[in-house]
Amino acid sequence: MIEAIIMMLVVGAVLGAALGVANKVFYVATDTRVEDVTAMLPGYNCGGCGYPGCSGLAQALVDGEADVVDCKPSKQEARDQIKEYLAK
């Protein structure tokens, strides 16, 4: 009985260490540009741009598939800020 418990602890420790190493080796950095552009948009989710809400337009802007002038309710200052952000 004690041998089984010790064996399960060892197996758990080895698998936990393997998952920790895999987390470091296969880490993928997330792209925060979509969230940043979504925060710069007015947030009405009106669909006037032809995309399903502001997050859809933000994804298209980051991918280069849309232009910021498609967002009708946004102000010119916000459009300029988004253009400047995406130019970086």
pLDDT in tens, 15-26: 999 999 999 999
What range defines the domain where residue 1 resides?
Answer: 1-30
Which segments in the chain show pLDDT lower than 70?
A: none
Q: Are residues 24 and 55 in the same domain?
A: no
Dump pLDDT digits (tens) for 41-53. 999 988 889 999 8
Cα dihedral: 34, 21, 14, 12 (round 10)? -20
Please count the structural domains in the chain. 2
User: The pTM is what?
Assistant: 0.68
In the chain, the N- to C-terminal Cα span, in Å, equals 62
The CA distance from 62 to 32, in Å, is 10
Q: Do residues 48 and 19 both lie within one domain?
A: no
Q: Are residues 13 and 42 in the same domain?
A: no
Whether the CB-CB separation of 73 and 88 falls below 8 Å is answered with no
